[in-house]
Amino acid sequence: MERDAGDSSGSHAQNAGGGSGGARSGPLIAAERVTRSYRSGDLEFQALKGIDLAIHAGEMVSIIGASGSGKSTLMYILGLLDRPTSGNYLFDGVNPAALPPPAVAELRGARIGFVFQQFHLLARTPALDNVELPLLYQGALGARARRTRARDALARVGLADRMRHHPTQLSGGQQQRVAIARALVNDPPLILADEPTGNLDSRTGLEILALLQELHAEGRTIVVVTHEQEVARCSSRVIALRDGRVISDRPVPEPGRAAELLAALPPPEDALAAGAPSGAGGRR
What integer pLDDT is reported at residue 13 of this predicted model? 36
Topology (CATH level 3) of domain 58-72+99-263: Rossmann fold (3.40.50)
Give the helix/strand (H/E) hosting 242: strand 237-242
Q: Which long-range contacts (CB under 8 A, 24 or more apart) does 2-6 make?
A: 2/247, 2/248, 2/249, 2/250, 3/248, 3/249, 3/250, 4/249, 4/250, 4/251
Predicted confidence at residue 142, as pLDDT, reads 92
CB distance 85 to 36 below 8 Å: yes
Residue 22 has what pLDDT? 47
- Give the pLDDT score at 5: 38
Residue 210 φ then ψ, to 5°: -65, -40
Q: Tell me which amino acid residue 136 is.
A: L
pLDDT at 178: 96
Burial class, 214, CB count within 10 angstroms (exposed 0-12 / middle 13-18 / buried 19+): middle
Cα separation, 243 vs 68, whole angstroms: 7
pLDDT of residue 250: 96
Cβ–Cβ under 8 Å, residues 209 and 197: yes
Q: CB under 8 Å to 33, separation ≥6 — which residues?
A: 50, 51, 52, 86, 87, 88
pLDDT at 251: 96
- In total, the chain counts a number of residues equal to 284
User: Quick one: pLDDT at residue 282?
Assistant: 40
CA separation for the pair 272, 7 (Å, rounded): 45
The whole-angstrom separation of Cα 115 and Cα 231 is 15
* 48 three-state secondary structure: strand
Exposed e or buried b for every residue in 228-247, given b needs 16+ CB within 10 A? beebbbbbbbbbbbbebbbe
CA–CA separation, 281 and 284 (whole Å): 9
Residue in 247, 220, 249 with CA at minimum distance from that of residue 5: 249
Rounded to whole angstroms, the maximal C-alpha distance in the chain is 75
Contact 174, 149 (CB under 8 A): no
Calculate the alpha carbon distances from 59 to 177, 235, 256 in Å: 21, 9, 15
**Do residues 11 and 55 touch, judged by C-beta distance below 8 A?**
no
Q: What pLDDT digit, counting tens, does each position of 224-264 carry?
A: 999 999 999 999 999 999 999 999 999 999 999 999 999 99
Q: What is the DSSP letter of 61?
A: E
Residue pLDDT tens, the chain, 284 long: 555 534 443 333 333 344 444 445 689 999 999 999 999 888 999 999 999 999 999 999 999 999 999 999 999 999 999 999 999 999 999 999 999 999 999 999 999 999 998 899 999 999 999 999 999 888 878 999 999 999 999 999 999 999 999 999 999 999 999 999 999 999 999 999 999 998 899 899 999 999 999 999 999 999 999 999 999 999 999 999 999 999 999 999 999 999 999 999 988 775 545 454 444 444 33
pLDDT the model gives residue 41? 87
Q: With contact defined as beta carbons under 8 Å apart, do 248 and 3 qualify?
A: yes
Q: Which residues contact 204 (CB under 8 A, 6 or more apart)?
A: 171, 172, 173, 176, 197
